[in-house]
Chains A and B, each alone.
Chain A
Amino acid sequence: DQQVKQNSPSLSVQEGRISILNCDYTNSMFDYFLWYKKYPAEGPTFLISISSIKDKNEDGRFTVFLNKSAKHLSLHIVPSQPGDSAVYFCAASGGYNTDKLIFGTGTRLQVFP
């Protein structure tokens, strides 16, 4: 049972426009959410996170929004740049296993000129 879902396997966006990556979760015990970025043949790197006590967190071009009632979070990248082309994973933790992150299946973002 996939507790964290990224229903869009890929997304293509023009440079300078907004990229919106979505993530849904099923476990209401999750209370901390993270986004990771991954280039091919490399390990994921941390991008941005949000606690369940907030509904928005911003860091430069990256903003994460959390809608707890809908069990949905999204990552906005504005403006998108070609270097943003990568696979993005959302992850969640909470409940009994606060040290164990549950990852989504990833969304491949391609930013074209």
Chain B
Amino acid sequence: DGGITQSPKYLFRKEGQNVTLSCEQNLNHDAMYWYRQDPGQGLRLIYYSQIVNDFQKGDIAEGYSVSREKKESFPLTVTSAQKNPTAFYLCASTSGVGYTFGSGTRLTVV
């Protein structure tokens, strides 16, 4: 079955630590995206990549970093510079306009 896999589903991080969220897709989609969901704020774009080895900042990229070394993979690192990292993170991919989403990772800073 084709789809997007995000792992882990739940992640706890101590303040000051970096953490990496995984996103893998087997849909052969060129473009991949990271969104963050907070209550009352909808989905906000963190980073996106339209092709391997290239990515662009979204609306809220500060404190995050990404890489796109393989077409299938688009990991997101939440760095210690991110002031409010506790949120639900969603990865998506597309070959056109509509997106396919992963099931998300809930990150909690403790």
Contacts and interface: CB of A to CB of B under 8 A. Distances in A.
A11 B31 CA distance: 33
A100 B102 contact: no
B48 interface: yes
A101 to B, nearest CB: 6
B98 A100 contact: no
Nearest to A99: B31
Interface on chain A toward B: helix, strand, loop, or mixed SS? Answer: strand
Interface stretch (A13-21, A68-76, A102-110): A102-110
Interface stretch (B11-19, B36-44, B60-68, B71-79): B36-44
Q: Which 3 A-B pairs have the closest CB atoms?
A: A43-B101, A105-B42, A103-B43
Interface of A: 6, 9, 32, 34, 36, 41-46, 49, 89, 93, 98-101, 103-106
